[in-house]
Amino acid sequence: MSNIKTVIPELLSPAGDMERFQRALYFGADAIYVGGSAFSMRAAPANFTAKELKDAVDAAHKKGVKVYLTCNTVPRNDEIDKLPDFLMESAETGVDAFIISDLGVMTLAKKYTPNTDIHISTQAGITNYASATEWYNMGATRVVTARELSLDDIATLRAKTPKELEIECFVHGAMCVSFSGRCLLSNYLVNRDSNRGECAQPCRWQYSLMEKTREGEYFPISEDENGTYIFNSKDMCMIEHIPEMVKAGISSFKIEGRAKSAYYTSVITNAYRQAIDGYLKNPVDSYKPEKWVVDEMYKISSREYCTGFYFGHPRDDAQIYYDGGYKRDWSVMAEVLHSENGRTVCRQRNRFFEGEKLEVLQRGVEPYEITVTDLRDENGEKIDKAPHPMMTVSFECDRNIPADALLRKAV
C-alpha cells in the first residue's frame, strides 16, 4: 500500500487571452492564472482588460474554477500611484487572488483590496521555510517556491510552515536561465526588461564566440561528444512524478506558459488533468500515467524535457542536447462547434481536405482518429478542402464529438 497521504492538488493552468482561458476551462483546470492590463510578467500576450477579466471570472466561477491575477512585476516609483486603482478595479471583477512578488505591492493590496487573497510569486525567490512563514505572517495565503528547490527541500518547507499556507510549484514548462525568473540578459542585450514582462528569452538564442582582436571570425562553442551549449535550458516536465510531488506536500501544480498557444494550453492541461485524476483513483507510490497521457507531451511545440532541480542538483549533462530549437510536429486543423445528426460542425484553423485523417483531442478521452468524409461548407455545398481561416465546415462522423474538442494532425 501507499505511504503517501492522498491529497487533491490543484491544477493551475496559464491563459494569455480569452481563447486560451476557454481552453484551460474545457480541458479541466482547477484554477487559471492570467495577466491584466498592467503589472504582469508577460507583456507579449494580449492579456485581459477589466471587462474581459470580469467575463473570464464569471465563466470560471460558474464551473467552480478559480482565477488568479498576476501582479508580479518589479514596479518603479512612477508606477506606484497607479497601483491602488488597478488593484481595486481588478478586485471588483471577483478574482480569487493576486500573484505578487514585491513587498510594496503587497502592502498596497492589503490596504486597498483586503478581501482578495495574496499569493507570493516565484519572483520573490522563496527557498526556505523561514521566508515562507514570514510571507504568511504578513498576510499571504500561498507561496510559489523558487524553481531551484528539490522535492526534499519543498517537503521540509511544507513541514515547517503553517498548515494553512498553500505551496505552489511549477510542474511543466520553460526553465529560465536565471534565479527564479530574475533574468538580466534580456535587459542587457536588447533593453527589454524581463522583470517587467518583456523578456526576449536571449537564453534560448544560438551563440558563437568571437575573440575581440579577430572581428568577424566566429568560433563554435565546443563541449564534448554530448553536444554544444551555453544557455538553452530544457523544458521541465513532471507528469511521470505525480506521487513524489503529492508526497512533498505541493498544494498546486502550476503549468508555465501564458505566452504560449491555445493548443499548448489544451494539450498540457488535458494531460495533467488525466495524470492527476488517474493518481487519485490509484494513489500508490508506483503510479504512472497511461502511455497516451505521457505521449501528449510530445505533441506540442517544446524543447527536450528535464525534471529541473526536483531530484537534486542537475547532473553536468542534464541540460546538454544537440538541438537547441523547438520541436513542432502537430498542428490544429479545426475546433469543433457541435455535432448533430451524424455530422460534426467545426471552425477551420488550418487547411484540411476531404478524405484526410485527423486526430480528435477532447477532454478525458484517449485521442482517436477520424476520416473527413462528405466535407461541406456552411451553405451545405460539397467541397474538397477547407482552405479559408475560420470558415465553418461540416463533415460526416459516426462519433459525437463535443464542442471545444480539437482536430489535429501530425505535420
Query: What nine digits make up the cell of 160?
Result: 515547517
Q: Topology of domain 330-410, per CATH?
A: Elongation Factor Tu (Ef-tu); domain 3 (2.40.30)
Q: What is the distance between the alpha carbons of residues 113 and 177, in angstroms, rounded to a whole number?
A: 34
Question: Which residue in 407, 364, 337 sits closest to 278, CA to CA?
Answer: 364
The whole-number pLDDT of residue 229 equals 47
CA dist list (Å): 274 to 17, 231, 269, 280, 351: 24, 33, 9, 10, 30
The whole-number pLDDT of residue 211 equals 67
Residue of higher predicted confidence among 211 and 382:
382
Say if residue 115 is exposed, middle or buried (CB neighbours under 10 Å; 0-12, 13-18, 19+).
exposed
The whole-number pLDDT of residue 216 equals 76
Most confident of 13-27, 200-214, 220-234: 13-27
Q: What is the distance between the alpha carbons of residues 118 and 100, in angstroms, rounded to a whole number?
A: 7
The whole-number pLDDT of residue 1 equals 35
Helix (H, G, I), strand (E, B) or coil at 13: strand
Please, which pLDDT band fits residue 325 given cuts at 50, 70 and 90?
low
pLDDT tens digits for 368-398?
A: 999 999 999 999 999 999 999 999 999 999 9
The whole-number pLDDT of residue 387 equals 95
Please, which pLDDT band fits residue 235 given cuts at 50, 70 and 90?
confident
- Print burial letters for 47-83: b (CB count within 10 Å at least 16), e (below 16): bbeeebbbebbebbeeeebbbbbbbbbbbeeeeeeeb
pTM for the complete prediction?
0.85
Window from 95-104, 195-204, 226-235, 355-364 with minimum mean pLDDT: 226-235
pLDDT at 179 over 80: no
The whole-number pLDDT of residue 4 equals 45
Q: What is the distance between the alpha carbons of residues 380 and 378, in angstroms, rounded to a whole number?
A: 5
Question: Which residue in 122, 120, 104 sits closest to 112, CA to CA?
Answer: 104
CA dist list (Å): 271 to 10, 176, 300: 14, 23, 12
Please, which pLDDT band fits residue 193 given cuts at 50, 70 and 90?
low
Residue intervals of the chain classified under CATH 3.20.20.70 are: 10-180+232-306
- Per-residue pLDDT averaged across 345-373, rounded? 97
Residue intervals of the chain classified under CATH 2.40.30.10 are: 330-410
Window from 250-264, 300-314, 317-331 with minimum mean pLDDT: 317-331
Q: What is the distance between the alpha carbons of residues 363 and 356, in angstroms, rounded to a whole number?
A: 23
Q: Topology of domain 10-180+232-306, per CATH?
A: TIM Barrel (3.20.20)
pLDDT at 315 over 90: no
3-state helix, strand, coil in the chain (%, to 5): 25, 25, 50
The whole-number pLDDT of residue 72 equals 86
Please, which pLDDT band fits residue 185 given cuts at 50, 70 and 90?
low
Q: What is the distance between the alpha carbons of residues 321 and 304, in angstroms, rounded to a whole number?
A: 8
Q: What is the mean pLDDT of the chain?
A: 87
pLDDT tens digits for 48-70?
A: 999 999 999 999 999 999 999 99
Report which secondary-structure segment, H or E, holds 332. strand 330-340
Please, which pLDDT band fits residue 103 given cuts at 50, 70 and 90?
very high
pLDDT at 228 over 90: no
- Per-residue pLDDT averaged across 94-114, rounded? 97
Please, which pLDDT band fits residue 195 given cuts at 50, 70 and 90?
low
The whole-number pLDDT of residue 209 equals 65
Q: Are 183 and 199 in contact (CB under 8 A)?
A: yes
Helix (H, G, I), strand (E, B) or coil at 128: coil
The whole-number pLDDT of residue 5 equals 54
Please, which pLDDT band fits residue 131 given cuts at 50, 70 and 90?
very high
Q: What is the distance between the alpha carbons of residues 119 and 148, in angstroms, rounded to a whole number?
A: 19
Q: What proportion of the chain, given as a percentage, has pLDDT over 90?
A: 71
- Per-residue pLDDT averaged across 113-130, rounded? 95
